Amino acid sequence: MKPQEKAEDSFLGLYCHVPFCPHRCAYCAFYHEPPKREWIDRYLDGIQKEVASITVHSLPKTIFFGGGTPGILSTKDFQSLSSSILSLSDGHKSLGTNRPVEWTVEMAPSTVKEDKLLLMKELGITRISLGIQSFNPHTLNTLGRRHSAKQALLAYELIREFAFDVNIDLMFAIPSQTLESWSSDLQKAIEIQPDHISTYCFTHEENTPFDLKLSPDKSLSKEESDLLFYEKTWDYLPENGFIHYEISNFARPGKQCLHNLNTWDMGEWIGIGPAAASQYNQTRYNNPASIEKWYESLSHQTPFENITPLTPESLATDALMFGLRKIQGVNLDSLSSRYAIDLRKKYAPLLHSLSENKLLIQEGPHIRLSRPGLLLSDSIALDFLE
Ligand code: SF4
């Protein structure tokens, strides 16, 4: 049997990394740069060169501008970036004449301005992901975020006036944040009715200013404390009309993020810009995480790093691991025929042990993690890799 290698509904997505941030958030360990004019010019020139060097086998169905802070670009720079991306071609057609069905841009509340939103609307952007993190001034201050709750709400209202779909990012289990304060954040989120809510558990990154500034609450272990926040979130948002469709993600009906679903389903995506990762043509690779190295690499024949060929076997394991992050789980028979690998047989002892321990629920060919299983999803994923 020949593997299908792609799910029936998987497609090509495009991720563009915009690595500029006005300042460093205290907890952030991601690669980003201050928005110096010289670097922005080099970045925009590099994006144009990178896109011109690629001919894709099919046009991306989704685009995601992430960062960094994509919204920090001026309207002129944003127009230039978008024009380069829209020139991407499959050899016959370009994205400019065949717009994606979903195009998301991450914005920090302080970067939301009317002229930018107007341009984004004209470009065909469909969805804004707003990095609110919290509505609580103390929590925002703890995180080192520069916006106020009022600024976040005004930004949200302005985005809504332009009729974009909106995701809001919220963060929980932040040192000094109480469960009551998190409950208020969730209530506020329900009040403003976004289309989508992404909830992230604060993780204590090493070697960040945050690491030095704060120590976690000692009365509970981090795991015990996180559990209370997870339980609250997983109960409250579905009770208020949001579908819990992935460990961290909730959506109103029909508003799930297609771009992210495609990555969890092991579809294909190409990454443009420094530090962007790709999974394309049975290979996983990433661009150098430095504007200078990335720009310089564009003149090489193979500008990528960490090039990993993907086999049906490795893709099947990843599709299983990432598919189990989705609340509905996966259909083992479909995955087995997609990759021509008998996954039931390959993982029989592990699936049996997870079921015995009530971490996994099996209903015919469908498997999904139970709530205790979802809480242990990272370690369960590692079990599939062993
Ligand atoms: S805006 Fe995002 S990427 Fe930039 S420093 Fe803050 S957390 Fe990191």
Question: Residue 101 phi/psi, 5° resolution?
Answer: -80, -25
What ligand 1 atom has the least distance to the C-alpha of 144?
6
State which fold the 12-264 domain adopts.
Answer: TIM Barrel (3.20.20)
Q: Is 28 in the pocket of ligand 1 (CB under 6 A)?
A: yes
What ligand 1 atom has the least distance to the C-alpha of 145?
6
The mean pLDDT value of the chain amounts to 93
Q: What is the pLDDT of residue 219?
A: 67
Distance 338 CA to ligand 1 centre (A): 37
Beta-bridge partner residues of 331: 366
Q: What is the pLDDT of residue 3?
A: 47
Q: Is 107 in the pocket of ligand 1 (CB under 6 A)?
A: no
Domain with CATH 3.20.20.70 in the chain: 12-264
Residue 216 has pLDDT above 60, yes or no: no
For ligand 1, atom 8, which residue shows the shortest CA distance? 28
Residue 2 has pLDDT above 50, yes or no: no
Residue 215 has pLDDT above 80, yes or no: no
Share of the chain above pLDDT 90, in %: 84
What average pLDDT score do residues 170-182 get? 94
CATH class of 312-385: mainly alpha
Domain with CATH 1.10.10.920 in the chain: 312-385
Instruction: Note the pLDDT tens digit of each residue in 118-150.
Output: 999 999 999 999 999 999 999 998 888 888 999
Share of the chain above pLDDT 70, in %: 94
Q: Is 131 left (phi over 0), alpha (psi -120 to 50) or beta?
A: beta
Label residues 141-153 b or e (16+ Cβ within 10 Å = b): ebbbbebebebbb
Q: What is the pLDDT of residue 1?
A: 39
Distance 340 CA to ligand 1 centre (A): 41
Ligand 1 pocket test, candidate residues 17, 20, 24, 32, most atoms within 8 A of CB: 32
What average pLDDT score do residues 282-301 get? 94
- Select from 111, 110, 109, 130 the least CA-distant residue to 119: 111
